[in-house]
Amino acid sequence: MVSISVEASLIADQWVLSAAHCFPFTVDYEVQLGVYQLMNPTSNAVTYPVQRIISHPDYQGHEGSSGDLALIQLPSPVNFTDYILPVCLPDSSTEFLPGANCWVTGWGNKGVNVPLENPKTLQELRVPLIDRDTCNDLFNKHPDEELGLNPIKPDMLCGGYIEGGKDACQGDSGGPLVCQNNGVWTLAGVVSWGEECAKPNYAGIYTSVPYYADWIQAKMNRGLLNAPTVTLLLMSLAFVLL
């Protein structure tokens, strides 16, 4: 049996948002909500099967592709508790400005090939946003042949520390980047890709949620009731904010 763990955010009572690249295989997945320590589950945690996964049609299946976003529909509504709550979604006009202090959370590696130790407690990191031109300039100093020049597209957010040392890392893919918007913690981005992690003169790249806000809302409103069912193991972030 294939065991795959990815991260995501609960955004509505029947919907979870993650990254499209997290779902390259057709395997059995489930969503775990209310988890804080992966190796020390409590009675606050619940598990749901997955009804279907909807990847954005622009996603091309490779690192650096636009559209790295996936909606996961649950077969029935989630019962919200003090430990299981949805994160707020922005609308398409919401702007998260460079320099804004946002937060990324996850259970991924603490460094390249350095796994999070047991009991695998949810980690958090403050991440300042970097404007797209500056971020592209950083990546263009050592261009990747596959990514080419200016790999940071309009549907991406860039965040991190130019001096390196702190970043999302392998295993955080699909997880949330949240920022305060008018005093409300709001889902700004989804962990997408980067050059390893925490390397100097690079940054982490996130799929912009405002950029795809209309697509997200349209898919949730429509429900796709007649679409074929795909059951997928999703270690989903039970979003209890910082």
pLDDT > 90? residue 108: yes
pLDDT tens digit sequence for 75-91: 999 999 999 999 999 99
pLDDT > 50? residue 107: yes
Radius of gyration of the chain (CA): 17
**CA end-to-end span of the chain:** 35
Mean pLDDT of 162-180: 96
Q: Cis (ω within 30 of 0) for the bond into 119?
A: yes
183: buried, middle or exposed (CB in 10 Å: 19+, 13-18, 0-12)?
exposed
Which residues participate in catalysis according to the annotation? 21, 68, 173
The CB density around residue 20, as the number of other CB atoms within 10 Å, is: 25
- Closest Cα partner for 13 from 57, 61, 72? 72
CA distance 204 to 108: 14
CA distance 234 to 239: 14
Q: Which domains does the chain have, with CATH numbers?
A: 101-210 (2.40.10.10)
- The pTM of the full predicted model, rounded to 2 decimals, is 0.91
Please identify which residue in the block is written with the tokens 């622009």: 58
Residues 72, 22 contacting (CB under 8 angstroms): no
CA distance 72 to 118: 28
CA distances from 225 to 26, 73, 84 (A): 20, 10, 25
pLDDT > 70? residue 227: no
